[in-house]
């Protein structure tokens, strides 16, 4: 009785087999079946690699929260070319909402002299130029101490005018690049000829309308770059063909944190921009310049890298491979019946 009970249990278990196997002599292998099998294996291998790549790649999730940062500085990365203005006349100034003027001595700004073909012919550090300018102002303020100081200042100005006019005649340009560290409040920075004495500028350019502030923005960012970031002003070119004017870029900065998959956090900033150009009029007393007016958003965007779960990968893999296997099996049966119907028309009724 015990033996019969075991045999009955085995038969009951076998009856649950969802994959019964036929005897080898009952199986028929065909060329069409081999072709379908090869195509099916190629499709399954392709889909497997696709699903593996999909699992290994990360995706990003965006979250927003109130910006709670205080007392930090805002780095401004500049890389611009002015093809029609020599480096001797360009100055960079930054002013925040409180009216504080960021002195160039505390910044890392470099100027590259360019020839008419855009090749570098010299390098100057902006703080050196500011020191020279301060020395000239100091001499000018104390020029009443003697005619010798007056002569020195006048001679310096004349040399400056001759040098700049010669540079303009040679088609010199200037590339300005570096980093400005400003207060984390609304403000602006601008690049212009405002560092020149008004009379010197008038003698050099013979009017503000002749100051060509054509420029190319190679890079402008407010922090390090993260994967997928898009700075809208990169590779922006504004070339003036007629009268000069004032360019104004209104920038809205959005504080951003990028969290990598390995939990490293990269603090940076995104921004959007609109621009406005005001051509110079005959009665304008201002001078052409390129202004960047920025304001900070009170909202911080957090971008987190995440990876799909392994269970999600297995589920998709089973669905894709199982579906492909079932479809190739169905296709194999259709092809077998079609070939038999074409080659053996007399057996059509038997197949039915």
- The predicted-structure confidence for 237-285, as pLDDT tens digits, reads as follows 999 988 889 999 999 999 999 999 888 899 999 999 999 999 888 777 7
Per-domain boundaries in the chain: 32-57+308-343, 63-117+166-306
Per-residue confidence (pLDDT) for residue 16, from 0 to 100: 65
Q: Which of 204, 112, 114 is nearest to 157 (CA)?
A: 204
Tokens of 104: 């160039």
pTM of the model: 0.71
Q: Is 281 helix (H, G, I), strand (E, B) or coil?
A: coil
Task: Count Cβ atoms below 10 Å from residue 59 Cβ, excluding itself.
Answer: 10
Angle (CA) 119 124 130, round 5°: 145
Report the distance separating Cα 33 and Cα 271, nearest Å: 59
**Helix-strand-coil percent breakdown of the chain, rounded to 5?**
40, 30, 30
Per-residue confidence (pLDDT) for residue 236, from 0 to 100: 93
Per-residue confidence (pLDDT) for residue 27, from 0 to 100: 59
Task: Count Cβ atoms below 10 Å from residue 296 Cβ, excluding itself.
Answer: 20
Q: What is the mean pLDDT of residues 77-96?
A: 89
pLDDT band at 142 (very low <50, low <70, confident <90, very high): very low
Per-residue confidence (pLDDT) for residue 5, from 0 to 100: 60
Decide: 218 and 176 in contact? Cβ < 8 Å: no
User: Residue 113 belongs to what H/E stretch?
Assistant: strand 108-114
- Which CATH number, 2.40.70, 2.60.470, 3.30.70, 2.120.10, labels domain 63-117+166-306? 2.60.470
Q: What is the mean pLDDT of residues 34-53?
A: 86
For the ranges 69-73, 152-156, 233-237, the lowest mean pLDDT is seen at 152-156
Decide: 90 and 111 in contact? Cβ < 8 Å: yes
Per-residue confidence (pLDDT) for residue 346, from 0 to 100: 54
Per-residue confidence (pLDDT) for residue 77, from 0 to 100: 93
Per-residue confidence (pLDDT) for residue 143, from 0 to 100: 40
pLDDT beyond 60 at 326: yes
Q: 270: which strand partners?
A: 254
Tokens of 152: 């020195």
Report the distance separating Cα 83 and Cα 62, nearest Å: 40
Angle (CA) 74 79 84, round 5°: 135
Angle (CA) 226 220 231, round 5°: 50
Report the distance separating Cα 186 and Cα 126, nearest Å: 24
Of all residues in the chain, the percent with pLDDT exceeding 70 is: 78
pLDDT beyond 50 at 350: no
Of all residues in the chain, the percent with pLDDT exceeding 90 is: 25
pLDDT band at 122 (very low <50, low <70, confident <90, very high): confident
Average pLDDT along the chain: 80
The distance between the two most distant Cα atoms of the chain, rounded to a whole number of Å, is 133
For the ranges 11-20, 85-94, 190-199, 328-337, the lowest mean pLDDT is seen at 11-20
Per-residue confidence (pLDDT) for residue 174, from 0 to 100: 92
pLDDT beyond 60 at 126: no
Report the distance separating Cα 144 and Cα 106, nearest Å: 31
């Amino acid at each position: 009785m015990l033996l019969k009970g075991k045999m009955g249990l085995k038969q009951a278990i076998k009856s649950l087999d969802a994959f019964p196997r036929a005897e080898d002599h009952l199986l028929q292998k065909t060329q069409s079946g081999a072709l379908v099998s090869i195509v099916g294996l190629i499709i399954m291998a392709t889909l497997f690699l696709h699903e593996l790549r999909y699992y290994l790649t990360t995706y990003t999730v965006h979250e927003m929260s109130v910006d709670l940062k205080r007392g930090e500085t805002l780095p401004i990365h500049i890389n611009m070319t002015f093809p029609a203005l020599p480096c001797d006349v360009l100055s960079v100034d930054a002013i925040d909402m409180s009216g504080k003027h960021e002195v160039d001595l505390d910044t890392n700004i470099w100027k590259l002299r360019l020839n008419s073909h855009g090749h570098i012919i010299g390098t100057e550090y902006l703080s050196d130029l500011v020191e020279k300018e301060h020395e000239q102002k100091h001499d000018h303020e104390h020029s009443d101490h003697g005619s010798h100081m007056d002569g020195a200042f006048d001679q310096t100005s004349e040399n400056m005018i001759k040098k700049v006019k010669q540079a303009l005649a040679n088609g010199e340009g200037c590339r300005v690049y570096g980093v400005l560290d400003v207060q984390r409040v609304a403000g602006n920075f601008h690049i212009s000829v405002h560092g020149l004495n008004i009379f010197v500028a008038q003698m050099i350019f013979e009017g503000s309308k002749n100051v060509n502030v054509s420029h190319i923005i190679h890079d402008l960012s407010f922090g390090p770059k993260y994967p997928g970031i898009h700075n809208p002003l990169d590779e922006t070119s504004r070339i003036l063909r007629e009268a000069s004017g004032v360019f104004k870029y209104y920038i809205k900065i959005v504080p951003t944190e990028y969290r990598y998959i390995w939990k490293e956090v990269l603090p940076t900033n995104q921004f959007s921009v609109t621009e406005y150009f005001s051509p110079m009029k005959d009665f304008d007393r201002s001078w052409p310049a390129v202004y960047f007016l920025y304001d900070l958003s009170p909202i911080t965007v957090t971008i987190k890298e995440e990876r799909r779960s392994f269970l999600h990968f297995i589920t998709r893999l089973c669905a894709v491979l199982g579906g492909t296997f079932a479809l190739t099996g169905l296709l194999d049966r259709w092809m077998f019946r079609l070939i038999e119907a074409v080659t053996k028309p007399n057996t059509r009724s038997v197949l039915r």
